Amino acid sequence: MAPGNRVLLIISGGIAAYKSLELIRLLKKSGIDVSPVMTPSAAEFVTPLSVSALSGEKVYTSLFDLTDEAEMGHIQLSRVADLVVVAPATAHLMARAAQGQADDLATTVLLATDTPVLMAPAMNVRMWDHPATQRNCEQLVRDGVQFVGPNKGSMACGEYGSGRMAEPSEICQAVQARLTTGPLTGKKIVVTSGPTHEPIDPVRYIANRSSGAQGTALAVALRDLGADVTFVTGPADVAPPQGVRVVSVQTAFEMQLAVSEALPADAAIFAAAVSDFRIAQPNSSKIKKDGDAAPQLEFALNPDILAGIAQLQDGRPGLVVGFAAETDDVIAHATAKRSRKGCDWIVANDVRPDTGIMGGTENAVTLITASGSESWPRMSKTAVAQALAQRIADTLSE
């Protein structure tokens, strides 16, 4: 088996299973080997014989088949491939995978695998739109599962809407993109992003204007270069990216814990706008107005997450990058911040309100390293992220 070209294809039981035959044909044509796993209900729609004939491989169907287990146990099966593809992914299979159930061969393989998973959902529009499916989908995204489709269109059931499985050619393209390795393949990178919310009482909190756009763009750019990204995000405006491990947090303390749990890592990038302060003693019930007297809030300092990681004696990531949001003397303040916090690089940006950078789509940054500073032209946050990810890849490969 050539490295990087084997897919474990899980076919679950929906009418779109017939399209899996065409998918297998296209994958094989592109030089990709296919190890098929079928759920018992998939075998009601397409025969294991057709799947085996097209893939040229044995089809695995049962967790409790003695021959299957003897030839290739379910744990080994979960490790043979470079990518696990679930097409079609039915609502039922997604629900079981989101809950970590392992009640048949397909879900057991999904729970046991440490390779990336790509799902192509296929179901009726109402089932796709149902809050339960959407919740399961969000959970799977958080667990690092990537999705292709579903598309809008007319369905086998006669209805029209979202839920139609992506075309085999689209799925094949998505598979090819994921099997392509990049300069960051095999590198673990932690990215923090978004604001933190520090509670005042159960209904109020301290926050800031960070949208999470730059951190999200960075996670996408690192992922696209092949990195294994853990994305620790506060409550941001933008949705977290697919294909990365998402850890959602609210407060600076939660973010600090999530970052340390994500170590060891080759690099850690701190794009979050962490609140420097929290309320020393958040009220357990809503603070009521008390006549004309405004409440007095006592603040406490939050831990500096970046400085803590940059100054680790043991297990410090090889490259630690901070961001510096400044409103004046940008380079001087950011240079001082770099040495105070002990990080390798600081990406400084000017966040004066007239720049439109905070919450906007563009950024103008200066990269400050041990060897000096480099100002980049104003460009989209996506372009900044791509340039930074490439620089990280160059540095980690040195």
Residues in touch with ligand CTP (CB under 6 A) = 192, 252, 270, 272, 274, 276, 302, 304-306, 322-325, 337
Query: CA 123 from chain center: how many Å?
Result: 24
E strands, 148-304, where? 151-154, 160-164, 188-193, 198-201, 204-206, 228-233, 245-248, 267-270, 277-279, 299-301
CA dist list (Å): 348 to 239, 308, 388? 24, 19, 12
Looking at the Cβ atoms of 136 and 251, the one nearer to ligand CTP is 251
Least distance from ligand CTP to the Cβ atom of residue 375, Å: 17
**Helix H or strand E segment including 194:** none
Least distance from ligand CTP to the Cβ atom of residue 322, Å: 3
**Helix H or strand E segment including 343:** none
* Catalytic residue status for 137: no
- Identify residue 244 by its one-letter amino acid code: V
Least distance from ligand CTP to the Cβ atom of residue 392, Å: 15
Structural Rg of the chain based on CA atoms: 24
Least distance from ligand CTP to the Cβ atom of residue 298, Å: 18
Looking at the Cβ atoms of 252 and 388, the one nearer to ligand CTP is 252
Tell me the C-alpha distance between 313 and 315, whole Å. 7
Least distance from ligand CTP to the Cβ atom of residue 271, Å: 6
Looking at the Cβ atoms of 179 and 274, the one nearer to ligand CTP is 274
Tell me the C-alpha distance between 347 and 344, whole Å. 10
Beta bridge partners of 146: 118
Looking at the Cβ atoms of 154 and 375, the one nearer to ligand CTP is 375
Residue (of 20, 47, 25, 43) closest to 120 by Cα position: 20
Least distance from ligand CTP to the Cβ atom of residue 194, Å: 10
Exactly one of 137, 157, 172, 343 is catalytic; name it: 157
Looking at the Cβ atoms of 243 and 322, the one nearer to ligand CTP is 322
Looking at the Cβ atoms of 77 and 305, the one nearer to ligand CTP is 305
Query: Are the beta carbons of 385 and 212 closer than 8 angstroms?
Result: no
CA dist list (Å): 368 to 195, 216, 334, 337? 23, 21, 8, 10
Q: Which residues are catalytic?
A: 157
